[in-house]
Chains A and B, each alone.
Chain A
Amino acid sequence: MQGNTIEVDIKVPNKTRYLSLIGKIGEDIARELERFSGDKEVLAYHLNLVLTEAMVNAIKHAGPKEPEKLVRIVISLHRDDLTIRVYDDGQGFDINAIPAPNFEELEDRGRGIFLIRTLMDSVAYRKSCKENMLEMKKKLA
């Protein structure tokens, strides 16, 4: 990818059937990176995963009663800096109040944010009256 600068701005209906489409975009970006010296297939999986988890999160927080809403996802790559922003206009949540999974307890849920935090360098969730944003950053050097 010449210059390694791209920005992808996507809007899809807030339905889980589009998870695969969004995840594949992340995979394709990973495979196109010229300057990345690590394992591109591992990175492809990780980007697919964080996009999938973030979009599921946005669907949950957008409110199930509004199936016609869109989820907006912006993927920006500038040199070695990858930023993924996922927007929702629901109630929002406090990401710092979400505990890490208790590995001694066998819960069905609660691993999504943990996986995002583990695979990305920084994760923030910003609430605002207009829309909320989950921002995930990773250095690809």
Chain B
Amino acid sequence: MNLASETRNDVVIIYVKEERLDAHNSTELKSAVQKLFEDGKKNVLVDLKDVRFIDSSGLGALVSGFKNAISHQGNLKLSSLQSQVKSMFELTRLHRVFEIFPSTVEAVENFQS
């Protein structure tokens, strides 16, 4: 899976550089996020700008990351969801669970506030 990352103001941003986040590749994202929290990072932002398609496994990987954040007293937020990806969060009520921001800039600012 193609993941890129950068750190901005103590926030680790993971860019999912894939068109699809599905049962084929979601385990890798899950492991990458898990490792960040295990390594002591507190603030993780997953940017889904390039993701055009997400399935239940992709949603599950993000839920797993969110639960990991809680268990490590950290935070996991999401940014830059395409409209159809966002509709899957709404369908599964996960938009009530995740903090979702239109851009990485707005998300990073929210981590600071």
Interface residues of A (CB under 8 A from B): 16-17, 19-20, 23, 41-42, 45, 48-49, 52-53, 56, 59, 101, 103, 106-112, 114-115, 118
Question: A52 and B67 in contact (CB under 8 A), knowing A101-B92, A115-B92?
Answer: no
Size of B's binding interface in residues, CB under 8 A: 21
User: Cβ of B53 < 8 Å from any Cβ of A?
Assistant: yes
Output the residue of B64, B84, B97 with the most chain A CB within 10 A: B84
In the complex, the chain A residue whose C-beta lies closest to that of B55 is: A52
Q: Which residues of A contact B92 (CB under 8 A)?
A: 101, 103, 111, 114-115
**A56–B60 contact, CB under 8 A?**
no
**B56–A115 contact, CB under 8 A?**
yes
Q: Which residues of B contact A16 (CB under 8 A)?
A: 22-24
Q: Could you give 23 example pairs across A and B, Cβ below 8 Å?
A: A16-B22, A19-B22, A20-B22, A23-B53, A45-B53, A45-B84, A48-B53, A49-B88, A52-B22, A52-B23, A53-B55, A56-B55, A56-B57, A59-B23, A101-B92, A103-B93, A108-B61, A108-B63, A109-B60, A110-B56, A111-B92, A114-B56, A114-B92
The 6 closest A-B pairs by CB, nearest first: A16-B24, A111-B56, A112-B56, A108-B60, A103-B93, A56-B23
Further 7 A-B residue pairs, CB within 8 A, beyond A52-B53, A111-B92: A16-B23, A19-B23, A103-B92, A106-B67, A108-B63, A110-B56, A115-B92
Query: From residue B6, how far is it (CB to closest CB) to chain A in Å?
Result: 27
Query: From residue B103, how far is it (CB to closest CB) to chain A in Å?
Result: 23
In the complex, the chain A residue whose C-beta lies closest to that of B59 is: A111
Q: Which residues of A contact B4 (CB under 8 A)?
A: none
Q: Which residues of B contact A56 (CB under 8 A)?
A: 22-23, 55, 57
